[in-house]
Amino acid sequence: MTDPILEIADLHVEFKTYEGPLKVLNGVSMSVQPGRRVGLVGEAGCGKTTTMRCVLGILPNPPGKITKGSIHFHGQDLLHFSKREFQRIRGHGISMIFQDPTAALNPVFTVGDQLETAIRYGSKQTASRKEIRHRALKALSEVQLPDTERILTCFPVELSGGMRQRVCIAMALATEPELLIADEPTTSLDVTIQDQILRLLYDLVENHGTAVIFITHSLGVVREMADEVYVMYAGNIVEGASKDELFHAPLHPYTQGLMSAVPKLTGGGVAEGIPGRIPEYISPPGGCRFHPRCTRAMSRCAGECPQFVTIHPSHQVACFLHSGESHG
Amino acid sequence: MRFFSHPLVKRRIEAARKGWYKFSKNPVSLVGLSVIVLILILAIFAPYVAPNPEHAGRYVNFAESNQPPSLHHWFGTDTFGRDILSRVFFGFRYSLIMGLVVLAIATPIGVVLGLLAGYYRNRWIGTLIMRITDIFLAVPPLILALVVCSILTPSLFNAMMAVTLVWWPWYCRLVYGLASSYRGEFFVQAAEVTGATKAHILFREILPNCVSSIFTKMSLDMGWVILIGASLSYVGLGAQPPTPDLGTMVADGAKYLPAQWWIAIFPALAIMLTVLGFNLIGDGFRDLFALEEV
Amino acid sequence: MLTFILKRIGLSVIALFGLSVLIFCICHVMPGDPVRMALGARASDWAVENMREQMHLNEPLYVQYYYWLSDAVHGNLGQSLVTRRAVVDDIKEFLPATVELALLSGIIMAVLGITLGAVSGRYSNTWIDNGVRIFSYVGIITPSFVFAILFLLLFGYVLHWFPTTGRLSAGLVRPPVITGMMTIDSLIAGDIAAFANVFWHMILPAFALAMGGMAQEARITRSTISDNLGRDYISSERGLGFPERLISLKYLLKPSLIPTISILGMDFAALFSNAFLVELIFNWPGLSRYGMNAILRKDINAVAAVVMILGILFVIVNIAVDLIVAWLDPRIRLSGQGGE
């Protein structure tokens, strides 16, 4: 196994509010190999975006604070990076596509301006204006936008939602990052466009060999896009496995619940939801955060927090139901 | 007590309580509130708290004139020997009255016209109202107020009327903008479809959504109205002597700067304090309502 | 875009027209007989009656309005009952002084206000920020006449740093009148000494006028920048590797200027109205002081003319502001929004 390009270990994050600290992340661990596609699945509000903001170093500092844990990118400790060091690795090192392309693009500057600035500052070497422009056009055509010259002069308001998302993808990939974080890139788009964008992303990362972390709340998307999947619940990674493993044999009760909650077109049967709601982060349940909703909870679950242990080489889980079976 | 147990009333009280909780979390708003409460108390109870309440009226004592601030007269005395501290307390009355009266009249007029104009924006009545509003908004308020004041006999009452006349268009425009945008919202269309009367739509559907903006504007406006009132008094078009109006006092005292600085400075500070208080409260409301909108 | 401008101009013309009617009615409702006031109590009845005929004062109001309007269009705004000159001449003399002052004030207001606000917003919650916020509060709550008195007192009488009245010190020759604005005229004439002198006279009143607006601008800029700092596009830009400096100076500033410029328009207009008191205090021979005197002495022709001119200026400023905002914010231009 080659060294992971990104390694997050036991990350804890708190948000300070008037009512008290919100314990948003409660021990997140994951690792990403170079060139692999990793899916991060979880409900809205479980902490996916917060985790990724930590990786990029854009966690809003009041009120957010990293209280424990570490993040390593190519072995470098990101948590002790200065602003300058972060700025240097952003772009060609790590790049991000945001969920809402309309909010992610500066409304008063042209696409060309923003794209070219991204290329200029996100690349390893300095490039001439001509070259930057050339690369900008190339990036736009890679995301299959027509009439690239004109788009460079457009303002975001002039483009449709799908086109804006393509622009964001172009901006993220134009700097040829080693790791791309895609935060629900299709959620705010029409269903018909979603498929196109997903296919586009798939092809692009294939061609560039980029490692991707794909954040989504949709199992369907994960199934298409990812090689490995991490499942997140209420600030914890509860399960991590290769895609086939996860879908064939989900181990954590939450994952199993998610799987059965998806209505199936074939095979009949009724989709079942998971009873209960996600916990309040002000006073989360003690021990395993899922235990109040878990049908197979044991008394141990309320007291202790299960560790994230490796069951097979390609399957990890944080659950006391499987804790006796670790294989190193 | 049955009134208070009605569910709607209970909800309103609960909302008010929550609002107060949030409002009081903001130190700036609390400072503003304290300032205003202080001024209110001084103004209302002026005859009792002022050391020399009779100085607020016709009073002359040249032996004591132009005394600098001392233990006996905290703010000193003016050329007529009147205690400035007492006059300032009474002066607060006139400033507050001006603000209250102007807003009490201008706001309802402006809001109602704004609602009508916004809802009927594409009909003749909407256009008419907005064109009239535009006329009044074509010049800065102070100027028009000055002109109107000048044709009437200078007095506090006339100054209030002048400022009211100039002020209602701002509320009209504010509410017009809000009402126009709410008009297209689904809750309005739903009300129309189910046969609600126009009055109901305007006042029970659209208006409640505008209340927070109107309220914020009112609290900020108190300060501005008081400033305009002071400016009018400064040029002699407001309350007339011997009424202790703060603006008039500044004007009178300006002649004696820099030697007898206290005659002008203390009333000026009093004006500023009042405006500060309302500005802080207004900011507090703005923050309060902005959070709720998010 | 063009239709937008034309529509705005059209609406403004209607408003100005309505304003003219309004001001005309107000002026002619003034109690007291203006003619008698002008001619004096001892003028003969015949003289008074003659003048009344001349001024069409015996005709119905709408006829008087017609005369007034047609005269105005031909450049005759009547005669000032106070200065006894044609109002037009008075305006030619006094307007440039006010415009000059307002321009300097406006520049001070915009540049200093926005800079302070930007610095304050960028360094939120530090001592710089708190200092600027306190300063802005003081600026907003203090009436402009108080600033005028204080500045005059402190910098003029006590410290003697600045002259206390007028536009030009005695003994200096006034530069040839081209625009009427002494600063520009003296520059055109190459008279640097006069330019410096006039400029020096302008500083105190300009600052007194500018303080309120400066404080407003600083506040708005600060809160907008503070808000925009948290926006997704700024996080996104940071995430893509944009240098912090570039973000502050370019990508954060431009969107934040939009509300500021809108307020700037209003504040600039407020300058003209605050000038009424400030010019009086500094004895600055400008349109506002002229207007103020006209108001206090019920000089109806002058009042009407001054109000109309201010109205026109106000309208021009508002349209200019709308144009600038539309240029800054493509969302307004390109989605056809803006105005009513």
Task: List pLDDT tens digits, range B222-263.
Answer: 888 998 898 888 888 888 877 888 888 888 888 887 778 888
Percent of chain B scored above 70 by pLDDT?
Answer: 97
Q: Cα distance from C54 to chain B (closest Cα, Å)?
A: 23
Phi and psi torsions of C77, nearest 5°: -100, 20
Q: Which residues of B touch C27 (CB under 8 A)?
A: 147, 151
Question: Burial letters for C38-62: b for 16+ Cβ neighbours within 10 Å, e otherwise?
Answer: bbeeeeeeeebeebbeebeeeeeee
Give the alpha-carbon dihedral of B280, B283, B288, B290, to 10 degrees.
-170
Residues whose CB is less than 8 angstroms from the CB of residue C74 and which lie 6 or more positions away in sequence, other chains included = none
What is the rounded CA–CA span in Å between residue C114 and residue C217?
6
Question: Burial letters for A214-240: b for 16+ Cβ neighbours within 10 Å, e otherwise?
Answer: bbbbbbebbeebbebbbbbbbbbbbbb
> How does residue C30 score in pLDDT terms, banded at 50, 70 and 90?
low
Contact A231, A316 (CB under 8 A): no
The amino acid present at A250, given as its one-letter code, is P
Give the three-state DSSP class for B132.
Answer: helix
* Residue spans of alpha helices (H) in chain B: 2-5, 7-25, 27-44, 46-49, 84-119, 124-137, 141-151, 156-183, 186-193, 198-200, 207-234, 246-254, 262-293
Contact C252, C226 (CB under 8 A): no
Q: Which residues of A touch C232 (CB under 8 A)?
A: 98, 100, 103-104
- Say yes or no: C230 contacts chain A, CB-CB below 8 A: yes
Going by C-alpha positions, the residue among A157, A161, A183, A162 that lies closest to residue A172 is A183
pLDDT reported for residue C336: 43
Lowest mean pLDDT among A85-89, A311-315, C161-165, C249-253: C161-165
pLDDT reported for residue A324: 58
Residue B294 clears pLDDT 50, i.e. is over it: no
Mean pLDDT, residues B282-289? 79
Please indicate whether residue A159 or residue A18 has the higher confidence score (pLDDT): A159
pLDDT reported for residue B168: 93
Vertex B251 angle, CA B247 and B253, to 5°: 115
Instruction: Kindly report the average pLDDT of chain A as a whole number.
Output: 83
Length of chain C: 340
pLDDT reported for residue C33: 65
- Say yes or no: A232 contacts chain C, CB-CB below 8 A: no
pLDDT reported for residue B163: 92
pLDDT in tens, C150-186: 888 888 777 777 777 777 776 667 777 777 677 777 7
Those of residues 34-93 in A touching chain C at CB distance below 8 A are 53, 56, 58, 60, 83, 87-88, 90-92
Residue A283 DSSP symbol = S
pLDDT in tens, A105-162: 998 899 999 999 888 888 777 788 888 889 899 888 888 888 888 988 888 888 888 8
What is the rounded CA–CA span in Å between residue A18 and residue B25?
9
Q: Which two tokens stand for residue B84?
A: 């400035």
Name which of A87, A106, A168 is nearest C241 (Cβ-Cβ): A87
Burial status of residue A88 (CB atoms within 10 A of its CB: 0-12, 13-18, 19 or more):
middle
Mean pLDDT, residues A215-229? 87
Summary count for chain A: helices (H), strands (E): 12, 12
pLDDT in tens, B93-106: 888 999 999 999 99
pLDDT in tens, C47-94: 777 777 776 777 777 777 777 777 777 777 777 777 778 888 888 888
The CA-atom distances, in angstroms, between B245 and each of B48, B51, B86, B90 are: 18, 18, 12, 8
Going by C-alpha positions, the residue among B167, B168, B236, B169 that lies closest to residue C295 is B236
Q: Which two tokens stand for residue B209?
A: 């959504």
pLDDT in tens, C211-239: 988 998 898 888 888 888 888 888 888 88
> Chains touching chain B at 3 or more Cβ pairs under 8 angstroms?
C
pLDDT reported for residue C337: 39
Q: Which residues of A touch C235 (CB under 8 A)?
A: 53, 58, 60, 98
Mean pLDDT, residues A154-176? 88
Asked if C242's CB is within 8 angstroms of A109's CB, the reply is no
Residue A186 clears pLDDT 90, i.e. is over it: no
> Chains touching chain A at 3 or more Cβ pairs under 8 angstroms?
C
Percent of chain C scored above 70 by pLDDT?
Answer: 90
Length of chain A: 328
pLDDT reported for residue A222: 87
What is the rounded CA–CA span in Å between residue B293 and residue B206?
16
What is the rounded CA–CA span in Å between residue A222 and residue C290?
76
Please report the beta strands in A274-313, taking only residues with DSSP state E, as ranges in sequence order: 309-312
CB neighbours of residue A4 within 10 Å? 18
- According to CATH, what is the number of the domain B26-293? 1.10.3720.10
Asked if C241's CB is within 8 angstroms of A106's CB, the reply is no
Asked if C331's CB is within 8 angstroms of A114's CB, the reply is no
Asked if B146's CB is within 8 angstroms of C26's CB, the reply is no
pLDDT reported for residue B37: 92
Residues whose CB is less than 8 angstroms from the CB of residue C236 and which lie 6 or more positions away in sequence, other chains included = A96, A98, A104, A105, A168
pLDDT in tens, A244-294: 888 888 888 888 888 887 776 666 666 667 777 777 787 887 788 888 888
Question: Burial letters for A307-316: b for 16+ Cβ neighbours within 10 Å, e otherwise?
Answer: ebbebeeebb
- In chain C, whose CA is at the least distance from the CA of A175? C240
Contact A211, A135 (CB under 8 A): no
The CA-atom distances, in angstroms, between A147 and each of A106, A140, A153, A155, A230 are: 21, 9, 11, 14, 39
pLDDT reported for residue A268: 62
> How does residue A328 score in pLDDT terms, banded at 50, 70 and 90?
very low
What is the rounded CA–CA span in Å between residue C42 and residue C36?
9
Q: Cα distance from C246 to chain A (closest Cα, Å)?
A: 10
Asked if C273's CB is within 8 angstroms of B142's CB, the reply is yes
Q: Cα distance from B274 to chain C (closest Cα, Å)?
A: 8
Residue C334 clears pLDDT 70, i.e. is over it: no
What's the distance, CA A286 to chain centroid? Answer: 26
Asked if C331's CB is within 8 angstroms of A96's CB, the reply is no
Q: Which residues of C touch B144 (CB under 8 A)?
A: 307
The full set of domain ranges for chain B reads: 26-293
Burial status of residue C246 (CB atoms within 10 A of its CB: 0-12, 13-18, 19 or more):
middle
Specify the pairing of strand A315-317 against strand A309-312.
Answer: antiparallel
CB neighbours of residue B236 within 10 Å? 16
pLDDT in tens, C297-320: 777 778 888 888 888 888 888 888
Name which of C137, C143, C270 is nearest B140 (Cβ-Cβ): C270
Contact B266, B254 (CB under 8 A): no
